[in-house]
Amino acid sequence: MTTTMGFDSKGNARRSPWRLNALVCCMALAGYAQAAPHEVSGQAGDPASWRSAEFNANWGLGAIHADEAYAAGYTGKGQKVGIFDTPVNRHPEFAGDGKLINVVTEGYRAYTDPHRPGINAGDRFYFDGTFHFYSGSQGMLSNHGVHVAGISAANRDGVGMHGVAFDSQVISVDNDNDGPAYGEFLGLDGAVTNAGWQAMIKSGVRVINNSWGVSIPDFLSDGGRDPNALHFELKDAQEQFDQVKPLLGSLAGAGYQGAIDAARKNILVLFAAGNDGNYNQPDVISGLAYFVPDIAPNWLSVASVAQDATSTNSVPYTISSFSSRCGYTASFCVSSPGSKIYSTVANGSDPANLVSDYGNKNGTSMATPHVTGAVAVLLQRFPYMSSAQIADVLKTTATDMGAPGIDALYGLGDDQPGQSHQRPGHVLYRRRYSCGVPHSGSDGRGLRPDPVCRQYSGSGRRGGCRHAARQKV
């Protein structure tokens, strides 16, 4: 059974900031982002003009310097953002032709859920975006997916708030998670979850947001906040994987296999690191790329940071008290805003009469869609890059937080305010980029050299760009 990585506005558990200078790295000022017609448009080259009340409603946008990306002309336009979560409803923030697509999945359950009475193996499931109202662990609707989707992609319409990639399209697939969950890590229903993974793969998304996870043992939960207690560590995640590995390729392990399949299809898979406290490390599904190394280039784990004016870091943020540390995932983990995040919600007790609203939530669930939205903006800017190369840009433009270098708490860290990256970051190892960008009548191949990429590589030739990627921890 899945576990959502979020808390409500009261701090009740279920279960980077790197900044968007990653988005302006290698950016030439090309094009104008479009604001809503009734709203004063942001101006190209002027980040301050994008800091509207709607922008400031979610402090995370300012923390990752999304305004700099918008001023450079990049808003996620034309990109599909995959939200694998509870359903996303027809909130006004997702209005517009094709803005929100709820993908239908159906089949027969493979798992009897001990925490949700009436959910049994062999039962038929049909998910089309309709909200769930379960009588089990929560007993009410979960608006978790609505909140997550808003952080990534809510419209810039002059109302409420807007998402990081406000011009992107939301592809919503239901993971059948009713909110707070207490399932075992082998409790993923392979039929339901794999149907979702395969639907995502077929939808054409280049990035999938997963603000959920699986449980760690109860006796280790308290260790996340007590340095003297036992903690969930690499050896514990290894024990989980040792039980998952024999199931890969079978229905029982299909929830994990689907994630692996997606990463192997050039899709960037993002997972919340978990809400088990700063001393605990991510569960096996968030850290799956550690155990299946070939998918690591297309995988990111995301920890949460909070505003902290007293922080000794080079930026006024520190790891959220609830957030799991990056730990063994540090080489593919970034940190992003996840505390007191204002976004879209739906309220009510009747699926036919839900009320669209806004509210604050806390969790690595909220940190992850900030990164997902950033990926969408980068995909607009760099359509010639693979998903792994997009991940490289994010990782190598992160500014150090915590202990020097890639560290167990923040992973690759945060792009600190004030820095201005004009190209991919420090070279950890070299990788060739295809430096051409789509342009008719350019070099006979529908490509023209990217001028910023040419500046970095010293060559205008396609493939002449070199860039960084991973570093051993």
Catalytic member of 65, 144, 162, 421: 144
Q: At residue 77, what is the residue type?
A: K
Q: At residue 371, what is the residue type?
A: V
| 378-405 per-residue burial string, b: 16 or more CB within 10 A, e: under 16 | bbbbbebbbbbbbbbbbbbbbbbbbeee
- For residue 157, give the DSSP letter: S
Cβ 417 vs Cβ 110: under 8 Å:
no
| 181-216 per-residue burial string, b: 16 or more CB within 10 A, e: under 16 | bebebbbbbbbbbbbbbbbbbebebbbbbbbbbbbb
Q: Nearest-CA neighbor of 209 among 173, 235, 242?
A: 173
Q: CB pairs under 8 A, 24+ apart, for 445-448? A: 447/384
Looking at the DSSP bridge assignments, the partners of residue 361 are 341
Provide CB contacts within 8 A for 237, sequence distance 6+: 281, 282, 283, 284, 287, 290, 291, 328
**Could you give the CA distance from residue 199 to residue 79 in angstroms, rounded to a whole number?**
17
Provide CB contacts within 8 A for 397, sequence distance 6+: 18, 21, 22, 25, 415, 421, 424, 425
**Could you give the CA distance from residue 229 to residue 49 in angstroms, rounded to a whole number?**
49
Catalytic member of 67, 85, 178, 276: 85
Is 365 designated active site? yes
Catalytic member of 304, 336, 365, 457: 365
Residues noted as catalytic: 85, 144, 365
